[in-house]
Amino acid sequence: MSGGSEEVEARAAEVRVIRDPLYGDIRIPDDVKSLIDTSTFQRLHRIKQLSTCDLVFPGATHSRFSHSLGAYHLASIIVERLQELHPGWISELDSRLVCYAALLHDIGHPPYSHMLEDRTIYRTFHGHEEWGWIILDDPTNDLRATLIRIIGESGISRLKDIYAGRVHPIALHEIVSSQLDVDRLDYLLRDQYHSGADVGTYDVQRIFRSLRLDENGSLRLHLNGVPAVESYLLTRLHMYELVYFHKLNILTSEYHRKVLRRARELASKGELEINDAIKGMLLSPNLDANGYLSLDDSVISSAISAWKNSTDQELTFWVNRILSRDSFHKRLRIPWLTPELVERCMLALSAEISAAGFDPVRDLIFHRPGNVGYLPYEGGIQLVDGRDIADVSPVAAAIPERVHDTMVFVPASVRTACEEVVNSTLGS
């Protein structure tokens, strides 16, 4: 009996349980624990999932860390579910690797997530996916060392193939990157939960129960899963419109970018003192993985706070917009604007802003956020009979291929006057 007890205790010691607000207990085996415990992965604790959305939705302070754990959990469920339906479809190694791929898919995110994924800020610019590959290739990186220990160089190569879609069955890639990937399925539920945005939800377990593999090893949706996917697509649409594209999130994100662009200009001329981490981001032409990983939200926010006392008026103007809610710009309340219509009004708007004593170069802010609504990837969301979901679902067919918004921000005191300028310039 004592031997049996020791065996149970040994097995228990190999599994960590992490409590998640969405899924309850997430069981973390020993190999995954070793990946999570690296400094590279722990950095995701310090990268907010929704950049500045917490200025609008105070609860939205969750991190890329919790999202990555959620994506890992969902991937493990899909793999197990498909194994029940299609025994032997996946090797033991691939079943681990696809879960690793889900867990590690965000290791290359910059501070404040997508907000600072910007060529005008990083002297050495790569998208977050490419940074992830650079990190996995860095011989000094602790995450890479851990992966080599548990799966070897060949395993890392296979992991990259899963990310790039160079695998068979292709479902390994689709679990991580597709219209129904675990990234989107987790972040929409998680972002809605933490933001408190009540936009409707979807049954992720029902979606999983409806997934199948076709003869080519690609994910397909059973017809009984269409209603659940319709709910997912609508949730995605509403989250972009009401949370991700919220005017205050867009505005404060632009404030942060303007601060860092100005800091880059000043530092390049030796007129602003910056620390080594910020210097690597703004000025280094050969930023490496170690320098990139030294950057997180706290590094950026600390630097911005330190610049409050700068003698440069433009820099302190934008810093003060971030550090207090006073004097925020206001969005023009004209919902039908397009970039072409804004262009027709630019001269008149600039004149109105100048006449009121403001600087039109600084105080006329234009931004056009955009993302996909239902834009099929190669193959889209296909049913088991080969049709796309849009062929059988009026809801999916009605969702626009792209979701755009056109936002113009001006000083609060001239918003009404600027709206009148737009209306008079364009006519009713």
Cβ contacts of 119-123, under 8 Å, gap ≥ 24 = 120/257, 120/261, 121/257, 121/260, 121/261, 121/264, 121/281, 121/282, 122/281, 122/282, 122/287, 123/264, 123/281, 123/282, 123/283, 123/284, 123/285, 123/287
User: Closest by alpha carbon to 408, among 359, 353, 360, 366?
Assistant: 366
Position 284 pLDDT exceeds 80: yes
The answer to whether 344 touches 405, Cβ cutoff 8 Å, is: no
E strand or H helix at 85? helix 64-85
Reduced to 3 states (helix: H, G, I; strand: E, B; else coil), residue 213 is: strand
The per-residue pLDDT of the chain, averaged, comes to: 93
Q: Please report which confidence band the pLDDT of residue 335 belongs to, taking 50, 70 and 90 as the band edges.
A: confident
How far apart (Å, rounded) are the C-alpha atoms in residues 68 and 323? Answer: 29
CA 89, 203, 71: angle at the middle one, nearest 5?
55
Among left, alpha and beta (phi > 0; psi -120 to 50; other), residue 418 is alpha
What average pLDDT score do residues 62-77 get? 98
Model confidence at 209: pLDDT above 70: yes
- Domain borders along the chain are 13-196+246-327, 329-369+405-428
Task: Say if CB 64 and CB 49 are below 8 A apart.
Answer: yes
Partner residues linked to 260 by β-bridges: none
Q: What would the CATH number be for the domain defined by 13-196+246-327?
A: 1.10.3210.10
Confidence of residue 85 (pLDDT cuts 50, 70, 90): very high
* DSSP string covering 52-68: TGGGTSTT---BHHHHH
110-159 residue pLDDT tens: 999 999 999 999 999 999 999 999 999 999 999 999 999 999 999 999 99
In the predicted model, is pLDDT for residue 256 greater than 80?
Answer: yes
What are the b/e assignments for 182-212, b being 16+ CB within 10 Å? bbbbbbbbbbbebbebebeebebeebbebbb
| DSSP-derived secondary structure letter, 361 | H
- Tell me which residue of 239, 242, 151 sits closest to 191, measured CA to CA: 239
Residue 280 has pLDDT above 50, yes or no: yes
Average pLDDT of span 2-28:
72
Query: Using an 8 Å Cβ cutoff, are 85 and 148 in contact?
Result: no
Express as a percent the part of the chain with pLDDT over 90.
87
Determine the pLDDT at residue 402.
Answer: 67
Q: Output the CA–CA distances (angstroms, integers) from residue 376 to 22, 46, 178, in the order listed.
A: 28, 33, 9
pLDDT at 374 over 80: no
Task: Report the pLDDT value the prediction gives residue 326, as an integer from 0 to 100.
Answer: 80
pLDDT tens across 319-334, in order? 999 999 888 999 999 9
> Does the structure show a pLDDT above 60 at 17?
yes
